Amino acid sequence: MTNFQFPILQREIQGVLRRKMTFFFAFVFYAILGLAAVYFFAALQHSHTNRGALGRGLFIYVIVLGYPCVGVYAALFSSSLLVAEREKKTLDILLTSPVHGSSVILQKVLAPILTACLLVFGLIPILSLCFMLGGVSPTEFLHQFISLAVWIATCVMIGAWVSAKAKSSAKAIGLTLGALTLLIVIPALTFFYSMVPLFGPRNVGVIIWILAPLFWISPLGNGFLVTFDFIHAGPLFLPNHYFSPPGAMNWILNGLLQLFILMRLSHVWNRSMERKVKVPLVTRLKRY
């Protein structure tokens, strides 16, 4: 990889590393997790609780905090990828660059994915304490690591799609937060409704099947329910619960959604390039 081959990716990553908010978020995120690790080790020294139970408790704490925090960070970062170019009036210059349209989009979305993955790798020292305490198997650790990476990519693609359609950064942030809320809150409410049917047991199956596609994309099944042992999957993580396909099925569905959004983004970008080609370059540069 050279700077000439991936100039936009380098520019985006440098921009992220220059933001004070990036380091502030990382500091707060790791500080909360670090305090949790101190609490669990203090509980280990002053109680007769099983070491494995404490290790699993720490693991669950990291997972429950990691999915929404890292996902929201990645989505908000990507929600400004294209709309910010329009607001800064640099979109026309980017459209006339010699980089292929598909490569521009790919480099744009790779930047938030890579920076969010850096935050995930920063969790390894804390998660390693779970292995010292016990209670978490390597398979489960790998499962959650892959699921978190898949969820990050989905959040980035959602934010990028909103960025391509929104007219301002404020609207892009609001729409992105709304989309993530739907992917987390509605599946959670559906799950709890399946356990405590408020409107009678006959409506449970209908409501769950209507909202099943949303649940399958959400990190709820892959992250929280598997971690809390609500769902027990087989070797391939195939569905064995009628409203949730954890594991590989969740990864595949998220991958298809990401591919669809990426193709649509490339299509939108190529159409924008075709429209800009009709306007002379000198005329566009006079705007700046």
The predicted pLDDT at position 155 comes to: 92
The number of C-alpha atoms within 13 Å of 173 and in the hemisphere containing its C-beta is 7
Candidates 143, 151, 148, 217; CA nearest to 186 is 217
Number of domains in the chain: 1
How sure is the predictor about 193, in pLDDT bands with cuts at 50, 70 and 90? low
What φ, ψ does residue 52 adopt, rounded to 5°?
Answer: -60, -40
The whole-angstrom separation of Cα 240 and Cα 231 is 8
Whole-prediction pTM: 0.78
String of DSSP letters for 252-286: HHHHHHHHHHHHHHHHHHHHHHHHHHTS-HHHHHT
| 2 falls within a domain | no
Range of the domain at 71: 7-285
| 226 falls within a domain | yes
Q: Which long-range contacts (CB under 8 A, 24 or more apart) does 116-122 make?
A: 116/70, 116/73, 116/74, 116/77, 116/152, 116/155, 116/156, 117/149, 117/152, 119/26, 119/29, 119/70, 119/73, 120/66, 120/70, 120/145, 120/148, 120/149, 120/152, 122/26, 122/30
The predicted pLDDT at position 222 comes to: 57
| 165 falls within a domain | yes
The whole-angstrom separation of Cα 170 and Cα 193 is 33
pLDDT tens digits, one per residue of 8-44? 888 888 888 888 888 898 898 888 888 877 877 777 6
pLDDT tops 50 at residue 213? yes
| 1 falls within a domain | no
In this structure, of 96-100, 105-109, 150-154, 199-203, the range with the lowest mean pLDDT score is 199-203
Alpha helices in the chain (DSSP H): 7-17, 20-45, 51-78, 83-87, 91-95, 101-121, 124-133, 138-165, 169-195, 202-217, 219, 226-227, 248-277, 281-285
Amino acid identity, position 162: V
pLDDT tops 70 at residue 57? yes
| 125 falls within a domain | yes
The predicted pLDDT at position 194 comes to: 64
| 47 falls within a domain | yes
pLDDT tens digits, one per residue of 71-82? 889 998 888 888
pLDDT tops 80 at residue 101? no
Q: Angle at which helices 51-78 and 169-195 pack, to 10 degrees?
A: 140
The whole-angstrom separation of Cα 221 and Cα 17 is 33
pLDDT tops 50 at residue 181? yes
String of DSSP letters for 217-247: HSHIIIIIIHHTTS----TT----BTTB--T
Collapse the DSSP code of 41 into the 3-class scheme (helix H, G, I; strand E, B; otherwise coil) and give the result.
Answer: helix
Token readout for 55 is: 């290790």
Give me the percent of the chain exceeding a pLDDT of 90: 5
